[in-house]
Structure 1
Amino acid sequence: MNSYAQPVLRTADLSEGLRIVDRLLAIADLKDLEVDFDARISSPGVLPGVLALLPDADWWAEGERAGSSKRGDDPSAWLPVRLSCWSEAPEAVEPFLRAVGDSPATVRWDFNGWPEAPEVGLGEGGTRGAFVTLCAHAGDLELTEPAAGYMVFVHVKQVDAERAPWLAAQVGLRVIGDLDMAPY
Structure 2
Amino acid sequence: MSNSYAQPVLRTNDLSDGLSVVERLLGIADLSDLEVDFDVRISSTHVLSAALVVLPDAEWWVDGDRDGSSRKGDDPSAHLPIRLRGWAMPVETVQPFLEAVGDSPATVRWDFACWPEAPEVGLDAGGTRGAFVTMCVNVRDLDLEEPAADHTVFVHVKQIEAERAPWLAAQVGLRVIGDLVMAPY
**Would you say same fold, with TM above 0.5?**
yes
Matches within 5 A, 1:10-49: 10-49=11-50
Unaligned runs of 5+ in 2: none
Q: Match for 1:68: what amino acid?
A: S
Query: Structure 1 residue runs of 4+, over 3 Å off?
Result: none
- The size of the alignment, in residue pairs, is 184
Give the TM-score taking structure 1 as reference length: 0.99
Q: Distance in 1 between matches of 2:8 and 2:59?
A: 27
Question: What is the alpha-carbon root mean square deviation over aligned residues?
Answer: 0.6
2:166 alignment partner in structure 1: 165
**Structure-2 separation of matches of 1:25 and 1:53:** 23
Structure-2 separation of matches of 1:60 and 1:180: 24
1:59 aligned onto 2:60? yes
Between the aligned partners of 1:117 and 1:62, the Cα distance in structure 2 is: 40
Matched residue type, 1:95: P
Shift of 1:45: 1.5
Distance in 1, matches of 2:102 and 2:129, equals: 30
Deviation at 1:49, TM superposition (A): 0.5
Deviations 1:91-147 (A, max 9, x none): 000110010010000000000000000011111101111000000011100000011
Q: Secondary structure at the match of 1:66?
A: coil
Task: Specify the alignment match of 1:125 in structure 2.
Answer: 126
Identity percentage of aligned residues: 72
**Stretches of structure 1 lacking an aligned partner (at least 5 in a row):** none
* Alignment partner, residue 5 of structure 2: 4
Q: How far off its partner does 1:41 sit?
A: 0.4
Q: CA deviation at 1:53?
A: 1.0
- TM-score, normalization by structure 2: 0.98
